[in-house]
Amino acid sequence: MDTRTLAGIGILSLVLFACDGDKGIDDDGTSDGGATDGGGDGGGDGGDGGDGGTSGDDCGGDIASACDFQIDAKAGYAQADEVIAEEGDRDFFKMSLGAGQSIAVGTIAYAADGDMEPDTVLRLYDSAGTLLATNDDMPFRLQETDSALYFQAPTDGDYYFEVLEWGDWDGSGGNGGDSYEYTLIAYEVVQLDPEPDNDDFASVVAYTKAGNYVYYGNGWTEDGSLPYQFFGDMDAAGDTDLFPIDWTLKEEDERVWCQYSVWPTWLGDFQPSFALYDGDGNMVAQNDSPVYSLDRYYYYDGAVMMADQGVVFGEMGEVGGGQTYYLEVSDLGGMSGVGTFYPGLMECYTWNTEVVTVEDIDTDNNLPALSRDVLMNESSDGTAWYGYMVGGINAMGIPADELDSWRISSAGTGGSLDGKILNIVLQSKGVGQFLDAAITVYEDDGTTVLTSASSNTFDDNGDPAIESFEIDSDTASIYVVVEAEDAAMVPDANQYLAFIWISEAE
């Protein structure tokens, strides 16, 4: 398994408000109104075992011999304590669900002792044995190698969960033994969207100003930390759900990006779409494919990027000043009722400025002569250098911000750029922003073009990438210019993250 994490990004300690500005979610995850960060309303932290569910003998290795695994009505959850006893051992669990019943189910292994024994994979089947969903690691690796799924039963019936070890699933060779213990936990999810009071802007504003809350959950974190979760469904054809997000920056140097995604699971024919609006009703991000995918973390030549699903929005608010944004959830297919349940996630980051180079203001690098120097970091084997650039184009600025220029010096990449291989991957449209960007790379004179790109060869989102370009020049530095071919006429809707990877030629 690839165990790289977002090395350039530190998780933000954020003040998240669920209603008007004088009440909110504190750093310990509890709201001033007295409710916890989800609790009985669908959050929960999985519990510590107690008297719920089943536990004991090794469960069977197929559906026919699955252990009974039911949510105890009194305890509020199901629990089974099991072990991957040997290589290839698999455990199956049967749960009976009614149509429309929504549950969360996950493993606790790494979270218990931190030794990755076992590294779990969780699979979900219907009563006919059809595989519906698989989860290796939770989004954002919430519990590192532990696994979890959310699921709404489309019909009454029995459903099955399978737990196996990662090597067995991957085909690289399974592991097992007495130390490969895990706990499977499940609980019912109660939706958190206050229908019909969050169907439009006027309704949700009136609802929160009246002192009501729109709650967010913490299903798999014990300390109330990010990511926050939100749950809902489409109650009628054409329904939309809006979730207010009120928060305050704490420090002058915080540059914040938040990502809103759907937990990857079985969604049937439901086609969720996310849009993010500012307090004035301007759309600042939108994505019709918001389901999170771990695979997208590492999708190009070692690039450690934002997961390329959901909507991403950066630098919200001002220090000390409260700002309100609204996440809108809708269905592209116009479905409603059972089958439209969505488990949402909100994760936020601040940039580690020892690794990431961030544009200070929109117009501070509009010319090569004003370029920001990109901090390049050497790989552990000394054969490559990498860096990140975070910026944005403000088409409405005075003067208009039409391009950003960044400088990479030979001194920061082993003393010479000549003969090295350059890769640059930019993300904007792929994470819900509206910037249609192009990249041009110049020699150190700022006029001689080395290469350029306005698209890429590995996906269809339209973001540009410089792919495996050999620098055939003894230039002392290169300028990387990000320019808008098209941009939204809305402030803060044209932001981007770019990853740079320079390596020795093979």
Over 90: is that where the pLDDT of 291 sits? no
- What pTM value is reported for the model? 0.79
Task: Provide the pLDDT confidence category of residue 8 given band limits of 50, 70 and 90.
Answer: very low
> What is the pLDDT at residue 299?
36
Please report the pLDDT score of residue 248 as a whole number.
62
Query: With DSSP H G I counted as helix, E B as strand and the rest as coil, what are the percentages for the chain, rounded to 5?
Result: 10, 35, 55
Please give the pLDDT value at position 97: 96
From CA 332, how far away is CA 323, in angstroms rounded? 29
Of 6-20, 143-157, 312-326, 409-423, the poorest mean pLDDT is in 6-20
Closest by CA to 186, choosing from 265, 298, 268, 102, is 102
What backbone phi and psi angles, to 5 degrees, belong to 499?
-110, 135
Lowest-confidence segment of 117-131, 216-230, 430-444 by average pLDDT: 216-230
Percent of the chain surpassing pLDDT 90: 42
In which order are the strands placed within the sheet that holds 16-17?
16-17, 241-247, 323-331, 272-277, 283-287
Q: Determine the average pLDDT of the residues in 327-337.
A: 91
Pick the most confident of 35-44, 124-133, 252-261.
Answer: 124-133
Count of beta carbons in the 10 Å neighbourhood of residue 379: 13
Q: What is the pLDDT of residue 192?
A: 75
Span 149-207, pLDDT tens digits:
999 999 999 999 999 999 999 888 888 988 999 999 999 998 778 889 999 988 998 99
Give residue 1's pLDDT band: very low, low, confident or very high (50, 70, 90): very low
| b/e burial code for range 45-77 (CB count within 10 A of at least 16 → b) | bbbeeeebbbeeeebeeebeebbebebeeeeeb
Tokens for 299? 């999708």
Residue 43 has pLDDT above 60, yes or no: no
62-116 confidence digits (pLDDT tens) = 999 999 999 998 888 999 999 999 988 999 999 999 999 999 999 999 888 878 8
| One-letter amino acid for residue 378 of the chain | E
Mean pLDDT of the chain: 79
Q: Between 297 and 420, whose confidence is greater?
A: 420
